[in-house]
Amino acid sequence: MLTQAAKVCIAVTVILGSIAIAITVLRFWCRLRIQKIKPGADDWCALVALILSTGIAILTNYVAATTGVGEASFHPTLDQVIFALKANLGLENAQIACMGLIKISLLLYYKRIFVLEVYQIITNVLIGVVAAFEFTIIMLCLLSKGTPVSTQWDPFVPFKLSISAILISFCAGNTALDVFTLLLPIVAVRNLQISTSRKLVLWVIFSLGSFCIVASIVRLYYAVEYTKVPATGDSFFQAPFIYNILWALIEPPVFIVAGSLLTLGPFFRGKYGPASVFRSLRSRLLSSFPRGSSKGSSAKSTGSLPSFVKRSSDSGNKAWASTAANSTTDESGEIPSWELRALEDSAGERGPKNTQAMV
């Protein structure tokens, strides 16, 4: 019989995991089929993070379904406690690595689109900091009971390091790195020599990451609440642990989706995207106007279209030509990235080119 906590974990992981998988598939489809370029290092990091996130979800669901996780009245046997300790060790290290890969993927993406030397240096430094931080936390988790590592799933061996301090340090440091990582493009856009309206569009796009920061803060809150529970074997089966692990499950797919959405411009501008669908609907609506019941009336109707309809048609043709030109540029592979098309100067605003790479 599944506990309520197990049902919630399964529902959350299935829904968010499915969305993350779909978005990642679209990401690679855009690279390979629309842009016709090879996936970059940022894409591969996102894919590995997705694999880790999926593995975390599967293992968590298995543990939740086969034990009394979240059931306050449940009293685990020694074997169940040992199994829970093993699973928890694997889950926490996989989650730490997953979050690090997601941030590194975003930073590598920034390196492709912001080619100014100062931003290249900043992203390289942040990549090094993220990698060092995640590696340090993993080693602290593995050695929190000393050596050998097998002592980690021995409930009778006391911790030599404060596991509560390690958990809070990871969540707090992870949140801080999220803020730095997600604010970097917003600061970069501010310094671009483009119109305010275009800056606003780009700020909105990159502000999608604010939802990830909220998830990190909530995770930090529940991590603090979990550390208030006495460190006994039963604590793995109580509510505070469930809330902590639940938000640990939410974080990776949310970050994967937010990071991958930035790369889906070719899809949204393609023939299956909203813009194409809107143009198709507009064309059908215009073609549905009555043309008369006879040849004469049809010719008369066609020849006496109001001037505003003609102007609308002309502007529509110009828009179609502009869209076709943009599509050709994307598919040629000469522009390595597309997402910041708003950074390009329009025909009437030709001026000194910014050194930013167009995505």
Give pLDDT tens digits for 253-269: 988 998 888 888 777 77
Residue 272: inside a domain, yes or no? no
**pLDDT tens, per residue, the chain with 359 residues:** 677 778 888 899 999 999 999 999 999 998 998 888 899 999 999 999 999 999 999 988 888 887 766 666 667 788 888 888 888 888 889 999 999 999 999 999 988 888 888 889 999 999 999 999 999 999 999 998 888 888 998 888 888 888 888 888 998 998 899 888 888 887 777 777 767 766 676 667 666 667 778 888 888 887 777 777 665 444 555 556 677 778 888 889 988 998 888 888 777 776 665 566 666 666 777 776 655 444 444 444 444 444 444 444 454 444 434 444 443 334 333 333 334 443 333 333 333 334 333 34
* Integer Cα distance of 116 and 98 in angstroms: 28
Residue 179: inside a domain, yes or no? yes
Residue 281: inside a domain, yes or no? no
* Integer Cα distance of 129 and 353 in angstroms: 32
Number of domains in the chain: 1
Residue 120: inside a domain, yes or no? yes
Residue 217: inside a domain, yes or no? yes
Per-residue b or e along 27-63, where b marks 16 or more CB atoms closer than 10 Å to that residue's CB: bbebbeebbebebbebbebbbebbebbbebbeebbeb
Residue 32: inside a domain, yes or no? yes
Query: Does the predicted TM-score (pTM) go above 0.85?
Result: no
Residue 93: inside a domain, yes or no? yes
Residue 70: inside a domain, yes or no? yes
Both tokens of 79, joined, read 């074997």
User: Structural domain of residue 164, as residue ranges?
Assistant: 4-266
| Residue 138's CATH number | 1.20.1070.10
Give pLDDT tens digits for 19-59: 999 999 999 998 998 888 899 999 999 999 999 999 999 98
